[in-house]
Amino acid sequence: MRCVAGLAYMKIEDVAESSASGSGSDRRTRRILGHLVALNGMNGVISCDMHGSEPGDYWSVGNLISVVHDGARLVGQVVDITTSDQRWRTDGINSTMVKMELCGEVVDEAPGKPMFYRGIRSFPTLGAVAHRIRAADLRAIFAVQTGNVVEVGTLTQNKEIAATVSVEELVRRHFAIVGSTGVGKTTSVSMLVKQCVRERPKLRVMIVDPHNEYASHFRKQAFLLDADTLELPYWMFRFEEMIDVVYGGRKPNPDESDALYEVIRAAKQRFAVGSRNADSTIRRSMPQEANWVSADTPVPYRISDALQILDDWAGKLDPRYARADLRSLKHRIDALSHDPRYRFMFGKVMVEDTMAKIVGSLFRLPIEGLPITIVQVAGLPNEVVNAVVSVIARMSFEIAAACHGEVQVALLCEESHRYIPSNPALGFEPTRRAIGRIAKEGRKYGASLCIVTQRPSELDSTVLSQCSTMFAMRLASERDKDIMAQAAGASSQGTINFLSSLADREAIAFGEAIPTPMRMKFGDYRLFQQLSDQRPLGAEENADKSRDLLRQIVARLRGEYQPVDTAGVSPLKAVNG
Ligand SMILES: Nc1ncnc2c1ncn2[C@@H]1O[C@H](COP(=O)(O)OP(=O)(O)O)[C@@H](O)[C@H]1O
Ligand SMILES: [Mg+2]
């Protein structure tokens, strides 16, 4: 061993280390020891001598290092590094100051069994020895202790150690992936989603895909709906969603909107009373009277009835609404129902009660091997996207709630900041409310969110704060970084500083699904896909049970249909257990 200026500069074999530590390549590199020279709460400075020709790269910013103290190895993250005299000698020794943030400690519970604990029991004294962290300690720090664990990539600091997350924690609440365009959000979230559905057979994932890019990630594992195949009848829209469609996102004149409400209600009641289908749940609920039907109740009605009713009203001697308003409304509805771009809403010639079929195929009941639904909204008219997302988000919550834990629904919202913007003046209120409701109450009812956005600062902060796990990929804007720093909390500031310099596919993951903030790189998707294609998704299921469930859901959405905040849904016990 060679000692220079009181600091050890030695070969790796000279340092006592457990047999589990390090890879072959680690062993060949030299290990530089440092000593603690300053400590202020959780922030410390280590002085160490770097050899000019072989600086220890494990002392680099972002890496974890160990400080030996009191039978434990304290874990610190390097946040700043500088030579004492601001010079570099290529063939000599460079005295270096390494600033670090302590984050926890590793204790050997038994020989070869390191355990990581957050926080520090007692602080080291000056002179405590610091060294590169052992591979076994790194594994212990990032080992998920509970539930189903899935691998999503490798640690940046040591590519031989898998980056793992807990699936339970990921979907029990909500998670977010943020990062600039092109860093790999869509690809990474697809990997996560696949891992989640594989481990959680009750989980359904509803993907709202604004750029039609998810289909290639799921190939034959997802049920794909595009502008031609999507079927979301107008009668399943709530009144406020329908208003948005009919008026293309603009505010209607109040009289026209009143008339629209009344005409939809009247047409729905006419259909419900006149329905000849004895088996229909609509008819069975209350055959003679249809007062229970409001413009929000998801029961069918005919556009022809609505137009006829408008005509009747306009023909009255003393019409309740101005004739001009009734005419304008009639023209709008008529034009929409004939617009080929709106085929997904008005396409069916025959109006039938297809609610069970539609809900069943959207939310995969029965699952038929495809637990993921991708709704490609890129081909839909721009003015209608908000309303469609509102319907999907609302149904995701209602269906999860109606299933009492039999089915869980995760809504994946790509470009979330469009639907739930931080600026209250932007966005569409019903969509914001539907997604916000999943964010706030979803956990109790088995509904969760996957938020994907490149502008976290433009996303409603209450929704972001409900995400219990985050994968922060590269972000350039200061505002976005600030938002993530707030989300990460004080304990991860050191890690969050690196957000603007992360490589593609790299992420800083923090939150409940990960034991401690982790800098990681998502695995290569092509390899992952090859492996996952060999194992089909979707659990074995009892299709009859699913159909029963579907009947209950439809009855519930209709019979007990109530406005948002008073829904009498009871909290699930099975979901979280
Ligand atoms: N895990 C990965 N494995 C392989 N290639 C990836 C991975 N993540 C991203 N890429 C590549 O990077 C490109 C951008 O990724 P994408 O997921 O679309 O980024 P974003 O959604 O953030 O814009 C893709 O074309 C993809 O080929
Ligand atoms: Mg993307």
Residue 9: what pLDDT?
33
Read off the amino acid at residue 123: F
Residue 277: what pLDDT?
47
Ligand in nearest proximity to the CA of 415? 2
Residue 504 CA to ligand 1 center (angstroms) comes to 8
Closest C-alpha among 449, 494, 490 to residue 470: 449
Q: Residue 440: count other Cβ atoms within 10 Å of its Cβ.
A: 12
Ligand in nearest proximity to the CA of 473? 1
Structure tokens at 383: 């003015």
Residue 534: what pLDDT?
67
Pairing of strands 72-83, 93-110: antiparallel
Closest C-alpha among 183, 161, 553, 217 to residue 359: 553
Atom of ligand 1 nearest to the CA of 452: 21
Closest C-alpha among 486, 441, 479, 434 to residue 465: 486
Ligand 1 test: best mutation among 187, 471, 506, most atoms within 8 Å of CB? 187
End-to-end CA distance of the chain: 56
Residue 209 CA to ligand 2 center (angstroms) comes to 9
Question: Cα separation of 134 and 248, whole Å?
Answer: 60
Q: Residue 175: count other Cβ atoms within 10 Å of its Cβ.
A: 28
Greatest CA separation for the chain: 107
Ligand in nearest proximity to the CA of 194? 1
Structure tokens at 244: 């948005």
Question: Cα separation of 238 and 226, whole Å?
Answer: 22
**What SS3 class is residue 170?**
helix
Question: Cα separation of 360 and 543, whole Å?
Answer: 11
Question: Cα separation of 42 and 37, whole Å?
Answer: 14
Measure CA 18 to chain center. 39
Question: Cα separation of 97 and 99, whole Å?
Answer: 7
**Boundaries of every domain in the chain:** 2-142, 162-231+354-535+549-559, 237-341
Residue 516: what pLDDT?
86
Read off the amino acid at residue 32: I
If 0-12 CB within 10 Å is exposed, 13-18 middle and 19+ buried, where does residue 258 land?
middle
Atom of ligand 1 nearest to the CA of 180: 22
Question: Cα separation of 448 and 374, whole Å?
Answer: 16
Question: Cα separation of 481 and 483, whole Å?
Answer: 5
What residues does ligand 1 touch, defined as CB less than 6 Å away? 179, 181-188, 505, 522, 524-526
Which CATH fold would you assign to the domain 162-231+354-535+549-559? Rossmann fold (3.40.50)
Residue 360 dihedral angles phi and psi, to the nearest 5°: -60, -45
Name the pTM for this structure.
0.85
Atom of ligand 1 nearest to the CA of 153: 1
Residue 12: what pLDDT?
32
Closest C-alpha to ligand 1, atom 11: 184
For residues 83 and 59, the answer to whether their CB atoms sit within 8 Å is no
Residue 70 dihedral angles phi and psi, to the nearest 5°: 55, 50
Closest C-alpha among 80, 81, 68 to residue 125: 68
Residue 301 CA to ligand 1 center (angstroms) comes to 44
Residue 224 CA to ligand 2 center (angstroms) comes to 18
Rounded to 5 degrees, what angle do the CA atoms 511, 449, 367 make? 120
Read off the amino acid at residue 52: G
Question: Cα separation of 431 and 524, whole Å?
Answer: 34
Bridge partners, residue 412, by sequence: 207, 450
Structure tokens at 42: 């959780």
Residue 278 CA to ligand 1 center (angstroms) comes to 53
Ligand 2 is an ion; residues with CB less than 5 A from it: 185-186
Residue 467 CA to ligand 2 center (angstroms) comes to 19
Residue 65 parent element (H or E):
strand 64-69
Structure tokens at 444: 């109790």
For residues 499 and 475, the answer to whether their CB atoms sit within 8 Å is yes
Q: Is the peptide bond before 366 cis (omega within 30 degrees of 0)?
A: yes
Pairing of strands 64-69, 72-83: antiparallel
Question: Cα separation of 71 and 296, whole Å?
Answer: 66
Question: Cα separation of 170 and 318, whole Å?
Answer: 60
pLDDT by 10s per residue, the chain, length 577: 333 332 333 333 333 343 333 444 444 455 678 999 999 988 999 999 888 877 667 788 888 999 999 889 999 989 889 999 998 888 888 899 999 999 899 999 988 899 999 888 899 999 999 998 999 999 999 988 777 888 999 999 899 999 999 998 898 889 999 999 999 999 999 999 998 988 888 899 999 999 999 999 988 789 999 989 999 999 999 999 999 999 988 888 899 999 999 999 999 988 887 764 444 454 444 444 566 788 888 889 999 999 999 999 998 888 888 999 999 999 999 999 999 999 999 987 778 888 889 999 999 988 888 999 999 999 899 889 999 999 999 999 999 998 888 899 999 999 999 999 999 888 888 999 999 999 999 999 999 999 999 999 999 999 999 999 999 999 999 999 989 988 887 666 667 778 888 999 999 999 989 988 899 999 998 888 777 766 666 556 677 888 888 888 888 888 654 333 333 333 322 232 2
Q: How many residues does the chain have?
A: 577
Question: Cα separation of 87 and 81, whole Å?
Answer: 13
